[in-house]
Amino acid sequence: MTASYTTGDLRPDGSVRLDVAGDLDLSARSSLVEHVEPLLDGPAVTGVVIDLSAVDFIDSSCIGALVGCKHTADRLGRTLRVQGARGQVAEVFEMTGVAAVLGGPRP
């Protein structure tokens, strides 16, 4: 299943939520970065929350992309965290240790 993305409105705290659905594999890597990085660069944005509750699969290429986006956020003085990971996604986050880097896999 191809990944899809829905961006929420800017919240009062300056964060923006990005809902992701589908599978995050090598074919989705570029589109994932293309959806996250412009949000981080928004003038009024303080951070991005990526909701993965509708993602069934993630591979190493998209884990690397999320970590890269986290580094971009840090460089820009913004926050980036992931929430809602479940099943295989949560297991991979825990096994690889990126859960701590990205804010934890579970809501």
Q: Which two tokens stand for residue 42?
A: 């928004």
| Superfamily in which the 4-102 domain is placed by CATH | STAS domain (3.30.750.24)
- For 93-102, the CB contacts below 8 A with 24+ separation are 93/63, 96/63, 98/63, 98/66, 98/67, 101/67, 101/70, 102/66, 102/67, 102/70
Q: Hey, where are the domains in the chain?
A: 4-102
Residue 49 pLDDT = 97
Residue 18 pLDDT = 98
Helix (H) or strand (E) holding 38: helix 29-40
Report the amino acid identity of residue 79: T
The one-digit pLDDT tens for each residue of the chain (107 residues) are 789 999 999 999 999 999 999 999 999 999 999 999 999 998 999 999 999 999 999 999 999 999 999 999 999 999 999 999 999 999 999 999 999 999 854 43
